[in-house]
Structure 1
Amino acid sequence: MTAAQADLHVDRPTPADGAALWRIARDSKVLDLNSSYSYLLWCRDFAATSAVAREAGGEPVGFVTGYVRPDSPHTLLVWQVAVDETHRGRGLAAALLDGLAARTVAEHGVTTVETTITPGNTASERLFTAFAERHGARLEREVLFEAEQFPDGPHDPEVLYRIGPLTP
Structure 2
Amino acid sequence: MKSDQGSSDSEDVGRLKFRKPRLNDGARISELIRSCKPLDINSTYCYLLLCRDFADTCVVAEEGGEIVAFLSGYRPPDRWDVFFIWQIAVDVDSRNRGIAKRMLFDVLNRPSTRDCRYIETTISPSNEASKRLFRGLAQELDAHCDVSDCFSESDFGDFDHEAECLFNIGPFKMNG
Length-normalised TM-score, structure 2: 0.88
Matches within 5 A, 1:72-87: 72-87=79-94
Q: Say which of 89, 95, 98 aligns to 1:88.
A: 95
- 1:69-99 CA distance string (max 9 Å, x none): 1110111110000111121111111111121
Distance 2:156 2:38 in 1: 17
Q: Tell me the residue number matched to 2:41.
A: 33
Unaligned 5+ segments in structure 2 are none
**66-75 vs 93-102, which moves further:** 93-102
Distance 1:86 1:29 in 2: 14
Tell me whether 1:55 sits opposite 2:63 in the alignment.
yes
Secondary structure (helix, strand or coil) at the match of 1:82 reads strand
Distance 2:171 2:18 in 1: 24
The two structures, once aligned, show a CA RMSD in angstroms of 1.7
Identity of aligned residues (%): 39
Would you identify which runs of 4 or more consecutive aligned residues in structure 1 move more than 3 Å?
1-6
Tell me whether 1:162 sits opposite 2:172 in the alignment.
no
Q: Tell me the residue number matched to 1:111.
A: 117
Q: Is the 8 A contact 2:147 2:167 kept in 1?
A: yes
Length-normalised TM-score, structure 1: 0.92
Which one scores higher on RCO, CA 8 angstroms, separation ≥ 6? 2
Tell me whether 1:153 sits opposite 2:164 in the alignment.
no
Aligned pair count? 165
1:29 shift after superposition: 1.4
**What amino acid is aligned across from residue 147 of structure 2 in structure 1?**
R
1:144 shift after superposition: 0.8
1:56 shift after superposition: 3.6
